[in-house]
Structure 1
Amino acid sequence: MRYQVTVQPSGRQFAAEADESLLDAALRQGLSMPYGCKDGACGACKGQVLEGSVDHGKAQLSDADKAAGLALYCCAKPTADLVIECKQLRSAHDIPVKTLPARIEKLDKLAPDVIDMHLRLPASEHLQFLAGQYIDILLKEGRKRSFSLANAPGEDNLLQLHIRHVPGGFFTEQVFTTMKVKDIVRFSGPHGGFHLHNDAAKPVILLAGGTGFAPIKSIVEQAIADGYPHPMHIYWGAKTRVDLYQNALPEHWAASHANIHYVPVLSEPAADDQWTGRTGFVHQAVVSDFPDLSGYQVYACGSPVMIDIARKDFVAQCALPEEEFFADAFTFSAT
């Protein structure tokens, strides 16, 4: 069974099979909407079903969300013709997804469990992408692992990835044990709808947990290159001091640009960290500093748990408009 989906306010239409998600159907037909994990965890693809009905599948939505007509487009499957809302719908053909080889040019250990991998594309190739997007490393047996691009789009021949070691991880174990400079990997990209959507020129909160700093770094570096004038407040949360593996970089941004502000937060500082900064959950630091987020946008990248609780607290406690919360949730896969 095939259903017609009309997207407002653009009026674009696409067809969706009864057994495929709305996001998969849109992507298959060259249209892209905001999304992150594609697994119902991050909430980046949440939108409103204006007409028609869907099967929510494994989406973890509250009864209130369902009553309000909200759906996660990565999980929702049509059960009738639909009219849905998605303000950031765009043609995926504007930025083509490529499958390319790349040579490992550098493997720098930024922390005991974080490696900065630099990938050099073939001389004739460049990857056009938006700051905040990610690529999929293609592995054997059809497996793939997703990593956000940590560099700004201007460096489209040399890609940076911040890779955290996952014990038992099919790919990260290789990165930390056997991979070496000059090895070849294959990837596809760019993917994802996590990028700056600030047409309203609102001040921005950039919330990162752990290696969620990677896409935030890309966004900030692109903003600096573009002369972005609006306030950007960076909050980076980690467990101990060593986990803020590039702490000097956002400190430098804040010292060099009047519109950029930086607050690092540690949840469990070690005794020898001699930490005098903020402690606790990073999103709670934002709640404390910005009790009214009604005029802000938030871009959050980290674990699904962090994303979920940040969204709930910012909306419920700080009056953040839910449509102004953009997220990319990092999930980790073991062997």
Structure 2
Amino acid sequence: MSYTIALNFEDGVTRFIGCKAGETVLDAAYRQKVNLPMDCSDGVCGTCKGHCEQGAFDMGDEYLEEALSAEGQVLTCQMVPSSDCVIQVPVASTLCKTQVGKVEGRVAVVEPLSEDSIELAIDLDEEAGLAFLPGQYIHIEVPGTGEHRSYSFSSLPGEARATFLIRNIPDGVMSTYLTERCAPGDRLTLTGPLGSFYLREIARPVLMLAGGTGLAPFLSMLEQLARKREEGQGCDQPVHLIYGVNKDDHLVKTDALDAFAERLPGFSYATVVVDEMSDHPRKGYVTHHMDAEVLHDGDIDVYLCGPPPMVDAVLEHFDAEDIAPQSFHYEKFTPNQAPGEAA
């Protein structure tokens, strides 16, 4: 038996390794040429300390396990996983002699969804697809430009076809390529996965807030939740998504959201349109529609992906209303840059 361990480094790089039954994470990493920090390898010095965000494991020494778990920490030299795990490593990937991965693929589909967004599907060369955590992003090189742009996956990890929602920006480097030059079969290079914005284990109600093409990572998260339920690992906590756009015709993938509502008991969503001239039943911003019933008196995990003004507005709203979610994970993005640091 082998477990998949996601190592999230301080610089945003994620590296996936396989860990054999009975093997420590440190040994598994070294076997796969990832030099995690270490000194004594006996569980004494603390050099290999990290934080296990999800997964089951054994530390061997009961006292050591209790002492570290109080701080949410693990020692990778002693940690023996008994399930897939996600571990935060508090150093840069370059210091561990590893780097972000690359994968090649071919354009399969380019479909305008609205004047504002394009869906891009890429068939990856790797038959096993690409490992990432739902919510993470990747750099996509724009052919003929020497530049790249960064997009969150809307597809499920491990699938041979990766999909993305891309904002259509006039004169944008990627937008111009997709609307004027792109053709099925074009070769693309993807670098990643990256980012600390991803779905954690669900232990309480979840509120998802999406702005525009910031819907993409939530489609990946919801698909994972739906697949787990179909495999008998259902989530019994309510999950609510508020999806905001500027105009009526900017609302996309609502058919997918309807399907998730059918597949995931406890999942609900609401759409919001900024345009005052809209006939949409909910107008304004997402902050206008965060009712008490979805806030659960702050006993929630919040995930937010959208442009910087939206992220700032939500932070200000929580502060003004004296709401302190149990956890708050967000990612800012600007049209022509990589997503900002997630928190």
TM range (shorter): 0.5 to 0.7
Task: Report SS of the residue matched to 1:111.
Answer: coil
| Residues 26-67 of structure 1 deviation map (CA, whole Å, 9 limit, x = unaligned) | 85999xxxxxxxxxxxxxxxxxxxxxxxxxxxxxxxxxxxxx
Measure, in 1, the Cα distance between the counterparts of 2:253 and 2:178.
Answer: 20
In the alignment, is the contact (CA less than 8 A) between 1:203 and 1:231 conserved in 2? Answer: yes
**Within 5 A, what are the aligned runs for 1:144-223?**
144-155=148-159, 157-198=160-201, 201-223=203-225
Q: Percent identity at matched positions? A: 28
Aligned residue number for residue 111 of structure 1:
114
Letter in 1 for 2:318: F
Letter in 1 for 2:271: P
| Residues 103-154 of structure 1 deviation map (CA, whole Å, 9 limit, x = unaligned) | 0011111112311110001154521011111110124665321000001114
Q: 1:243 to 1:86 in 2, by over 3 A?
A: farther
Residue segments in structure 1 that go unaligned for 5+ positions in a row: 1-21, 31-84
Measure, in 2, the Cα distance between the counterparts of 1:154 and 1:96.
Answer: 20
In the alignment, is the contact (CA less than 8 A) between 2:13 and 2:195 conserved in 1? Answer: no
In the alignment, is the contact (CA less than 8 A) between 2:154 and 2:217 conserved in 1? Answer: yes
Pick the aligned partner of 1:328 from 327, 331, 335: 331
How large is the RMSD of aligned CA atoms in angstroms?
3.2
Q: 1:198 to 1:266 in 2, by over 3 A?
A: same
- Is the radius of gyration larger for structure 1 or structure 2? 2
Pick the aligned partner of 1:90 from 85, 88, 91: 88
Q: 1:29 to 1:115 in 2, by over 3 A?
A: closer
Aligned residue number for residue 315 of structure 2:
311
Aligned residue number for residue 69 of structure 1:
none
1:100 matched to 2:106: no
Pick the aligned partner of 2:241 from 227, 234, 237: 234
Measure, in 2, the Cα distance between the counterparts of 1:330 and 1:86.
Answer: 30
Aligned residue number for residue 224 of structure 1:
226
Q: Which runs of 4+ in 1 moved over 3 A?
A: 26-30, 85-89, 139-142, 287-293
Task: Report SS of the residue matched to 2:173.
Answer: coil
1:267 matched to 2:265: no
Letter in 2 for 1:230: Q
| Residues 231-263 of structure 1 deviation map (CA, whole Å, 9 limit, x = unaligned) | 100110011221111122212322443210111
TM-score (normalizing by structure 2): 0.66
Aligned residue number for residue 37 of structure 1:
none
| Residues 163-218 of structure 1 deviation map (CA, whole Å, 9 limit, x = unaligned) | 1111221222111111111111111011111111235x010001000000000111
| Residues 245-285 of structure 1 deviation map (CA, whole Å, 9 limit, x = unaligned) | 112221232244321011111111655xx42x211101221
Task: Report SS of the residue matched to 1:279.
Answer: coil
Measure, in 2, the Cα distance between the counterparts of 1:289 and 1:279.
Answer: 19
Task: Report SS of the residue matched to 1:264.
Answer: strand
Letter in 1 for 2:88: R
TM-score (normalizing by structure 1): 0.67
Q: Is 262-271 or 170-179 further displaced after alignment?
A: 262-271
Task: Report SS of the residue matched to 1:195.
Answer: coil
Aligned residues: 253
Aligned residue number for residue 299 of structure 2:
295
Q: 1:225 to 1:174 in 2, by over 3 A?
A: same
Measure, in 1, the Cα distance between the counterparts of 2:13 and 2:124.
Answer: 25
1:251 matched to 2:258: yes
Measure, in 1, the Cα distance between the counterparts of 2:199 and 2:295.
Answer: 23
Letter in 1 for 2:323: A
